[in-house]
C-alpha cells in the first residue's frame, strides 16, 4: 500500500495503521487519520496531489483528474480556482517588490532590509522548509504514478527523477529553467490538446451527449458520496468545496513562501511582470479544469467497458490515490501510446519544477547566506 507509513503506529483501538490501511486508506482531507490522533500528514490519501512546467506541476494534472473522479465536476473546478488566484496575485506582489526594492535578488533580501537579521534567518528557514515540502509533494506524486505505470520501484523512481534536473540546472542555471519551462510547456500543451480531441474520436464516446449519458449511468450505479443526489454533474459537492477551501489556503501559503516565484518576478522586466502573471494565472485555470473534467468523465463513463484497463472491476482506492485516473484515461483513448505520453509529460513537468526549486534554493544560499554573512564584498561572478 503506497500510502501506509513504513513505521509502526498504533491507534486508540490498538490496531497498527499499516493493518488498518491494508485494504483502504482512511484519511480525512489527506491530513488526519480517524482512530490515530497522533498521526498528522500532508497530502495523504484523499488529498490534493498539488499547483504550479515551473507553475504546471505534474501533480496538478494528476490531482485534478483524481478530485474529478472522487468529487464530480466540482472537483476540477475548485482545483483550478484554488490555483489561479495566487498566480494573478503575484502581478501585484511582484511589481510592488520591484518598485520598492529594484535591486533585490531574492524574497529573503527584502525581509532582511525591512525586518533585520533575526527575521531574515527565521524566514530563510521557513522558506527552505517550504521548498522541501513543495519538492517532496511533487516528486512523490510523480514517482508514484511512474512506479504504478512502469513497475519501477517507488524509491528508485524518486531518486532517478532528480538526476536529469541536476545535470541541466548545473550547466545552464536559471537560463536553463526558462528554456525548459518554455519547451516543456509547449510539449505538454500539444499532448493535452491531442488527448482532448482524441477522446471524441473513440467510438464508445462519440459525442458530448453520449459521454453525459455514460457518466450519468455510472454515477447511478455508484453514487458519489457528499454530492447532491450522488451525481457527478453538480457543484453542490461537500467534499469538493472543503477541498477548495483547504487547497486555496494551502496554496497561498506555499506561493508566498516559495522563493522561486519571486526569483522569476525579479528576473523579468517590470513591464513584463504584470501581464505575464495575469495572463499566466488566467490561462493556468484551463489546464486542471478542462483536463481534470474530461479525464475523470471518460474514466467514470467507460469503467464498465471492456476497453478500460481495469475491466471488469472499478479502479481500486490504491490506483486512485496513486494518481492513475489520468494515465488510465490516456490508455483508454490512445492505448500504449497514451501511456507513454503521460509518462513523458509527468517526467518533464516534474523535472522543470525541480529545476526551478533548485535554482531558488541555490540563489538563497548564494545571496542570502554567502554574500550576506560570509563575504559581503563578493561580486556577482563570485556568487555564481
Q: What is the pLDDT of residues 370-379, one digit of tens each?
A: 888 888 887 7
* pLDDT tens-digit map of 270-287: 777 778 788 888 888 888
Confidence of residue 16 (pLDDT cuts 50, 70, 90): confident
Is the domain of 20 the same as that of 127? no
Q: 32: which strand partners?
A: 28, 40
Q: What is the pTM of this model?
A: 0.75
Last residue of a domain, one of 31, 47, 63: 47
Same domain (yes/no): 154, 252: yes
The dihedral through the CA atoms of 144, 53, 46, 5 has a sign that is: positive
Domain co-membership, 169 together with 29: no
- 175/29 Cα distance (integer angstroms): 38
pLDDT class of 316 with cuts at 50, 70, 90: confident
Domain stops at, among 47, 62, 83: 47
Start-to-end CA span in the chain (Å): 44
Of 31-45, 164-178, 205-219, 337-351, highest mean pLDDT:
205-219
- Using alpha carbons only, give the angle 358, 256, 112 rounded to the nearest 5 degrees: 80
pLDDT computed for residue 1 by the predictor: 36
**How far is Cα 89 from Cα 137, in angstroms, rounded to an integer?**
23
> For 236-270, what is each residue's pLDDT tens digit?
998 889 888 888 888 777 777 777 777 777 766 67
Query: Which grid coordinates are listed for 24?
Result: 483502504
Judged against a pLDDT cut of 50, whether residue 43 lies above it is answered with no
CA dist 247 and 47 (Å) reads 9
Which cell is 336 given?
Answer: 500504449
Mean pLDDT of the chain: 80
Torsion-angle region of residue 21: left (phi > 0), alpha (psi -120 to 50) or beta? Answer: alpha
The highest-confidence range among 110-124, 178-192, 344-358, by mean pLDDT, is 110-124
User: Are 262 and 192 part of one and the same domain?
Assistant: yes
Yes or no: say if 97 and 274 are a contact pair by the CB < 8 Å rule. Answer: no
Judge contact between 184 and 53, C-beta under 8 A. Answer: yes
Query: Is the same domain home to 336 and 214?
Result: yes
Q: Are 96 and 235 part of one and the same domain?
A: yes
Residue 40 sits in the same domain as residue 80: no
CB atoms under 10 Å from CB of 191, counted, come to: 18
Do 155 and 297 lie in a common domain? yes
Identify the DSSP state of 201.
Answer: G
* CB neighbourhood size of 218 (10 A): 20
Alpha helices by DSSP H, listed for the chain, are 17-20, 58-71, 74-81, 84-100, 107-115, 117-150, 154-198, 208-221, 238-257, 259-267, 270-286, 292-302, 317-321, 325-363, 380-383
- Counting residues of the chain whose pLDDT is more than 90, the rounded percentage is 19
* Separation of CA 200 from chain center: 26
Same domain, 38 and 58: no
Give 332's pLDDT tier (boundaries 50, 70, 90): very high
Q: Is the pLDDT of residue 30 over 60?
A: no
In a shared domain, residues 214 and 272: yes
Total domains, the chain: 2
Q: The domain that contains 283 carries what CATH number?
A: 1.20.1730.10
What is the percentage of the chain residues whose pLDDT exceeds 70?
Answer: 84
| Judgement on whether residues 85 and 23 belong to the same structural domain of the protein | no
| Same domain, yes or no: 255 and 375 | yes
Indicate the pLDDT class of residue 6, thresholds 50, 70 and 90.
Answer: low
Residue 205 domain boundaries = 53-383
Average pLDDT over residues 104-126: 85
Amino acid at each position: 500500500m503506497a500510502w501506509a507509513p513504513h513505521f509502526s503506529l498504533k491507534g486508540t483501538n490498538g490496531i497498527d495503521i499499516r493493518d488498518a490501511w491494508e485494504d483502504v486508506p482512511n484519511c480525512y482531507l489527506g491530513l488526519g487519520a480517524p482512530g490515530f490522533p497522533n498521526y498528522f500528514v500532508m497530502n495523504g490519501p484523499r488529498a490534493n496531489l498539488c499547483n504550479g512546467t515551473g507553475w504546471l506541476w505534474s501533480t496538478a494534472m494528476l490531482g485534478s483528474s483524481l478530485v474529478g473522479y472522487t468529487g464530480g465536476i466540482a472537483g476540477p473546478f475548485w482545483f483550478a480556482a484554488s490555483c489561479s488566484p495566487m498566480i494573478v496575485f503575484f502581478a501585484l506582489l511582484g511589481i510592488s517588490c520591484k518598485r520598492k526594492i529594484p535591486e533585490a535578488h531574492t524574497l529573503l533580501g527584502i525581509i532582511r532590509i525591512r525586518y533585520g537579521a533575526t527575521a531574515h534567518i527565521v524566514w530563510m528557514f521557513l522558506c527552505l522548509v517550504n521548498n522541501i515540502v513543495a519538492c517532496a509533494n511533487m516528486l512523490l506524486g510523480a514517482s508514484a504514478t511512474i512506479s504504478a505505470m512502469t513497475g519501477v520501484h517507488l524509491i528508485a523512481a524518486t531518486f532517478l527523477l532528480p538526476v536529469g534536473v541536476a545535470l541541466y540546472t548545473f550547466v545552464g542555471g536559471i537560463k536553463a529553467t526558462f528554456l525548459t519551462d518554455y519547451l516543456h510547456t509547449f510539449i505538454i500543451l500539444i499532448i493535452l490538446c491531442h488527448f482532448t480531441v482524441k477522446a471524441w474520436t473513440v467510438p464508445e464516446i462519440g459525442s458530448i451527449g453520449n459521454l453525459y449519458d455514460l457518466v450519468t449511468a455510472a454515477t447511478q450505479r455508484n453514487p458519489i458520496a457528499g454530492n447532491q443526489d450522488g451525481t457527478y454533474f453538480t457543484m453542490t459537492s461537500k467534499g469538493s468545496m472543503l477541498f477548495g477551501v483547504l487547497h486555496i489556503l494551502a496554496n497561498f501559503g506555499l506561493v508566498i513562501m516559495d522563493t522561486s516565484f519571486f526569483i522569476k518576478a525579479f528576473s523579468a522586466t517590470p513591464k513584463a511582470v504584470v501581464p505575464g502573471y495575469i495572463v499566466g494565472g488566467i490561462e493556468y485555470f484551463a489546464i486542471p479544469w478542462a483536463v481534470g473534467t474530461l479525464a475523470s468523465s471518460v474514466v467514470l463513463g467507460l469503467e464498465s467497458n471492456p476497453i478500460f484497463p481495469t475491466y471488469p472491476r472499478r479502479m481500486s482506492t490504491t490506483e486512485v490515490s496513486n494518481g492513475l485516473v489520468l494515465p488510465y484515461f490516456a490508455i483508454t483513448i490512445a492505448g500504449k501510446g497514451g501511456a507513454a505520453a503521460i509518462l513523458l509529460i509527468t517526467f518533464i513537468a516534474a523535472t522543470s519544477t525541480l529545476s526551478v526549486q533548485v535554482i531558488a534554493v541555490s540563489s538563497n544560499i548564494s545571496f542570502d547566506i554567502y554574500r550576506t554573512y560570509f563575504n559581503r564584498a563578493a561580486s556577482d561572478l563570485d556568487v555564481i
